[in-house]
Structure 1
Amino acid sequence: MPVRTSAPLGAPIWIDLATSDLEQAQRFYGTVFGWTFESAGAEYGGYVTAFLDGRHVAGLMVNDPQWGAPDGWTTYLHTADISDTVAKATAAGATSCVAPMEVKDKGWMGMLSDPTGAFFGLWQPTGHRGFDVVDEHGAPAYHQLTTRDYRAALDFYREAFGWQTATVSDSDDFRYSTASFDGHDLVGVMDGAGILGEGVPSDWCFFLGADDVDKTVQVILDNGGSVVRAAEDTPYGRLAAVADPTGAGFNLSSIGA
């Protein structure tokens, strides 16, 4: 099992789900990916940690109706100094949505919206180092930002997080860059101006590894989930976009892609 002991600075470090049905979500992800779960209790607002073979993989929490947002996943980027990162990000055009706050014995978290409207989190670990299994069935394999303003997004993350980016394609049909950390491409940035529907904001998403994408899609359907984009072969492996029973979307990627 590919295990990591830390995430590179500026790279995705954690993912968590805000769901309107916490029990159903645990049944769904447990059945589809073999996740197990442990509640942190009332002290942490009932936050639930998901494990894959005993290792941290994701978090789940109740989606408070007062937030006014649909069920969905949030990607968190690693920072060593959350206050400094928020200052740099806002100076570069981001909006602070949730000011940095301490999570006792775990770390510091905050929420931002980048200049193109994509919502994401920050995590400064103290006792909780984020997901520590990758590139495995049911574990994060890749992360992607689909943005309405491709060049502004690249400029922002390079300035605020020091990303090193490389252009994969720069045509009107397909405009895409990758961000590399310690020699590994961990994040993609896609020009979504022509593909995001009206009113759909820029969006951070992730890909979970799947031993067999087609079989995993069927298990998702059998357990109340849905298909957003059917499985297809790509130069990056077999991919699919799906959603859980309450509509929270994520992606699948064949292992080794």
Structure 2
Amino acid sequence: MTLRDGTPIWFELATADRPAATDFYARLVGWVIAESPAPDHRDYVLARAPDGERVAGIMSPPPPGAPGGWSLYLLTHDLEATLATALAAGGKVAFGPMDIPHVGRVAVLHDPQGIVVSLMQPEREEPGRPFKPEPGAIGHGVWIELATPAPEAAFAFYGALFGWTREGAMPMGEMGEYAFMGAGEARPGAIMSSALTGAPARWNVYFLVDDIDRAIDAAQAGGGTLIQGPDAIPGGDYSANILDPAGHQIGLVGPRP
């Protein structure tokens, strides 16, 4: 099945201490992490979910001038056309386009509010799916979330790029609305106000874990910090956000067995 443009297609952590990050996330999410088999991808390790599928990469050090942290890659089948649309809608190209052997063509974009998001036109669509919002997809990305000072402007911008529209919302009182985004049957995540919630203006990714309390305990035992949750969410699971030992934020979703 051909994936729709805008589908999260890869997750990547740039951090100063790759071995420490590898150990931390293996314990946190249950990933099996090993060096990339590609000889020209040295200093890059690949994380596999318990089902064996590749879900994320970890690299060090961060690119020059980059603060490090998690990057979200969204799918496009025509990178140049998507970048042209982004520029016309007020975005800016921060890096690329660049060809990565055995991977595809990538670019890093600043949306009109200055929030970073990466784009990828893959060489081919593999059967594995790093983003798999399904029950039981332990270790996969299952939700993405944009905190932005201008939610309606974000809907306009990403709608121009990927056809996303507002698909309902959950009121959060004085913190505004948690507005769901989607196109067709795809519902990858939500947009909220960073100004009202106080959340950092950024994209955040949530990975599914087998036990939210176990994962939080593992994060804290490994030097991480719990900054939100665990909070009950629709469907019976719980969400949490942690900072890893280097201060990079990641989201977790999981049950209380």
The two structures share one fold, judged by TM-score above 0.5 = yes
CA contact (8 A) 2:13 2:71 kept: yes
CA shift digits 1:125-157 (9 cap, x unpaired): 114647446242222110011111111111101
1:253 is aligned with what amino acid? V
SS in 1 for 2:5: coil
Q: Per-residue deviation at 1:209?
A: 0.9
Shift in CA distance, 25/131, structure 1 to aligned 2, threshold 3 Å: farther
TM score, norm. by length of structure 1: 0.87
Give runs of aligned pairs for residues 17-166 of structure 1, distance below 5 A.
17-40=13-36, 43-53=40-50, 54-64=52-62, 66-69=64-67, 71-127=68-124, 129=126, 131-132=129-130, 134=132, 135=134, 136-166=137-167
Tell me the SS of whatever aligns to 1:77: strand
Q: Is the 8 A contact 1:145 1:190 kept in 2?
A: yes
Contact 2:175/2:193, CA 8 A, preserved across alignment? no
Contact 2:10 2:131 in 1 (8 A): no
Query: Given the alignment of the two structures, is residue 8 of structure 1 paired with residue 4 of structure 2, yes or no?
Result: yes
Alpha-carbon offset, residue 45 of structure 1: 4.5
Q: Counterpart of 1:103 in structure 2: which amino acid?
A: I
Q: Percent identity?
A: 28
SS across alignment from 1:194: helix
SS at match of 1:44: coil
**Alignment-derived partner of residue 187 in structure 1:** 189
Alignment length (residue pairs): 248
Q: CA–CA distance in 2 between the matches of 1:243 and 1:165?
A: 29
Displacement after TM superposition at 1:30 (Å): 1.2
Instruction: Give 1:49 shift.
Output: 1.4
| Matched-pair contact (CA < 8 Å) for 2:9–2:131 | no
In 1, Cα distance between equivalents of 2:72 and 2:131: 15
Shift in CA distance, 35/239, structure 1 to aligned 2, threshold 3 Å: same
State the alpha-carbon separation in 2 of the partners of residues 211 and 105 from structure 1.
Answer: 32
Q: Write out per-residue CA displacement over residues 13-62 of structure 1, whole angstroms, 9 at most, x where no aligned residue.
A: 11100011101111111122221223236612422211113211111111
Is the alpha carbon distance of 1:142 and 1:247 closer, same or farther for their aligned partners in structure 2, counting shifts above 3 Å?
Answer: same
TM-score scaled to structure 2, two decimals? 0.87
Kept in 2, the 8 Å contact 1:55–1:133? The answer is no
Change (3 A) 1:131 1:243: farther
Q: Distance in 1 between matches of 2:210 and 2:33?
A: 21
Tell me, yes or no, if the aligned pair for 1:96 and 1:111 is still in contact at 8 Å. yes
The 4+ residue runs of structure 1 with deviation greater than 6 A are none
Separation in 2, partners of 1:87, 1:36: 38
Corresponding letter in the other structure for 1:167: G
CA separation in 1, counterparts of 2:176 and 2:187? Answer: 18
Q: Which has the higher contact order (CA 8 A, sep 6+)?
A: 1
Matches of 1:132 and 1:76, distance apart in 2: 11
Contact 1:109 1:121 in 2 (8 A): yes
Deviations 1:83-141 (A, max 9, x none): 11111111101110002100112111100011112101001111464744624222211
